[in-house]
Structure 1
């Protein structure tokens, strides 16, 4: 559990009297930092309509320090945040007393949660939480796999109409009921128009991603290119917003952390005085940025929505793997060598409004939740849960997998192969050692 925080903000726990969710409890559930931040932002929307907001983190397997105090504070979270497994959460009053659970969780945790719900006895309750799943950011890869992991939700929020259409089409192929799909846009996006900048110096802010691009060579090129920009424009501050601090846990941990790359790069030519790394929250950086730059981060859409001139790094081309394909049509691609704080806002509004996820519709979620709560109240019993099949496989396969390995066989079937792989590896090493001994014996005079 995250330790108790002493710096609770003035807005923490505030609930408006009245409102369509008055007297209801809403649980904001996340996994990693950006996930939990988005869940809380959405939860505050319910809080503003009368709900009491609770916050919890869904524990990821093997993660002991999933959320640091710095990460919580940067996300505007001042409440205590218990960290629990899916199985423990589903059994808890924190979960069962909630009218709505806003889950912003990765695909693995979604499967764990729905498998735990499938094994629970919520059908005996007079009511159960309405479970809505939203996205923490842009859906850049494994779209259909991610959608199907979350398909058993009562409400499945999509960033853009095209993504919902993709889910509906795939659902129709195998018989998944797509009526839970709604388009809300990126509900965690900060769309406030930024105040006129009072910064004394122009600034270029690069927003780093831990594994995009993934290769050391590519990340070397990024930092070297930004360093060249800083050296070429000593009158400009070049800020590199790091995704996480060394030792912190995130959904995708950096294999080649920029601070490690910097030590080697700057040992040869020194670090320019006008280039520095920062952990300041993205919204604060966007307030004063002359230019926002990234490869494919969600913050690019936020910058565009707030009117900040934005550029997508084109040095590595356009590909689905890097997420740059998402920005085709934005008009914002540029090479590192051409970056300047004087670059204008060239975002194509049609792309931004129709395809980026920047156009948000909270009422689509709020209204659907109120509708399902009302339906459950009229019924006087818990609404039936959506089936795991066929989103997780045919009914026959799901039953077979659960029978031979329990939930892990559905959630993470690769784990069932590990003992066999281990035996094979050990056997292989043993065979090589035996072969080496035979060779040595043959060489003896």
Structure 2
């Protein structure tokens, strides 16, 4: 199984979903080169083992798929059924764990690679890394064309089918599951052997402004002062300079370093795997992170903050009806919110075997042997003013062909090292521009 991912959170979702679909299968990770390509530290923190893991461009990803398709066609010509042979080398599933436009580009490129007629080929799977709270139609239609579009809850499955059927697109691809990282031991209540621990799950862009993000730190400090018997852990997603799915203009580490007065001893900034942090938590607090769903899955008290309002822009509107909306003031007064059981079921939390339907669909498609090429809803005919721009951002023309010619082969260690140095320097410069220069320019424009 091959997983193409374009950020640390999408690699986490894609790799864990792949493990849920085929626990014993070989896992080959391909990290798409771009703004949010995960660093070695981010990958290490996730701790997801893969049989192979390397960085690629879209051109390289499609070239690899084309080479595998040609090898498989040659094997079939020699009366060898590569589709049913687990040792044939080709992936049985290609899981696209990327932003919608990237998924669309990959599907068009794979459609070209695999030809126009039905043939043995990998099953294509895609979905969302978390809660879908904005751009529902846009994101869904960019993912259309995959054999399986994973919905993370019964509610999402209904919404997804409504969108596809509403535009006349095939909705049979929508398959109900859950977020693959909902696991961990059930919460048993406060442990007398340790201090009561509050975990605030930070997000890179929610809320977005410096003032609002500083407010969160001050409220965490106030909570620790109001409850000297508690530890407050601010769980950070990344270090300054690292990127996740969203850009973090104001890293909490830097804001904390400038606080006056500074954070009290009861508040600590921590990294690490969310599951391991939750193992020692008694209350999870967030604005709208999917960490809330992880805590709810364990039966842990969970608070989704209302301090900035309940708004679509924040994503916390998704949790209306959960019973977990609360403010810092209420938490300071001792509130420990518990999630509503009906809301949990509707939102894909707590199912015994949530990936059963996905496994069954993938197995049925693989057993068919001959599959048509991906047929996305967007084509040069249905979206002539939109699709070309989506594909061009990944170096493809409207037919899914790479634009221009591939760079000549480079021989020798010196050229390879030069290429790697140039690429890394360019990426560092880009990240610096996004995180440091662009905010300053925006602020100057507001003067």
Shorter-chain TM-score: which interval?
0.7 to 0.9
1:123 CA displacement: 4.8
Matches within 5 A, 1:298-309: 298-309=290-301
Q: 174, 179, 196: which is aligned to 1:202?
A: 196
Q: Determine which structure has more spread, i.e. the larger CA radius of gyration.
A: 1
1:29 CA displacement: 2.6
TM-score normalised per structure 1: 0.77
Corresponding residue of 2:157:
164
Give the total of aligned pairs. 374
Q: CA RMSD in A?
A: 2.8
In structure 1, list runs of 5 or more residues that go unmatched: 1-25, 412-445
1:44 CA displacement: 2.0
8 Å contact from structure 2 (residues 109, 396) kept in 1? no
Q: 243, 252, 257: which is aligned to 1:258?
A: 252
**Which whole-Å CA distance do the structure 1 matches of 2:169 and 2:118 have between them?**
26
Corresponding residue of 1:397:
384
Corresponding residue of 1:22:
none
Asked whether 1:327 is paired with 2:323, we answer no
1:189 CA displacement: 2.0
Corresponding residue of 2:55:
83
Asked whether 1:35 is paired with 2:7, we answer no
Asked whether 1:385 is paired with 2:398, we answer no
1:358 CA displacement: 4.9
1:139 alignment partner, SS class: coil
1:92 alignment partner, SS class: helix
Corresponding residue of 1:67:
38
**Which whole-Å CA distance do the structure 2 matches of 1:172 and 1:74 have between them?**
40
8 Å contact from structure 1 (residues 203, 291) kept in 2? yes
Change (3 A) 1:174 1:125: closer
Task: Report the more deviating stretch, 240-249 or 187-196.
Answer: 187-196
**Which whole-Å CA distance do the structure 2 matches of 1:334 and 1:396 have between them?**
43
The CA deviation string for residues 217-276 of structure 1, in whole angstroms up to 9 with x for no partner, is 2112111111111122222111100111111121112111111211222xx212201111
Corresponding residue of 2:136:
143
**Which whole-Å CA distance do the structure 2 matches of 1:81 and 1:384 have between them?**
29
The CA deviation string for residues 82-131 of structure 1, in whole angstroms up to 9 with x for no partner, is 11122321221586511111222111321221232233244579521100
**Which whole-Å CA distance do the structure 1 matches of 2:40 and 2:153 have between them?**
33
**Which whole-Å CA distance do the structure 2 matches of 1:329 and 1:385 have between them?**
41
TM-score normalised per structure 2: 0.76
Asked whether 1:218 is paired with 2:189, we answer no
The CA deviation string for residues 393-438 of structure 1, in whole angstroms up to 9 with x for no partner, is 7447279948x97966779xxxxxxxxxxxxxxxxxxxxxxxxxxx
1:300 CA displacement: 0.1
Change (3 A) 1:282 1:83: same
1:175 CA displacement: 1.8
Q: 146, 162, 174: which is aligned to 2:167?
A: 174
Asked whether 1:290 is paired with 2:261, we answer no
1:102 alignment partner, SS class: strand
**Which whole-Å CA distance do the structure 2 matches of 1:213 and 1:87 have between them?**
35
In structure 2, list runs of 5 or more residues that go unmatched: 70-89, 400-447
Corresponding residue of 1:104:
97
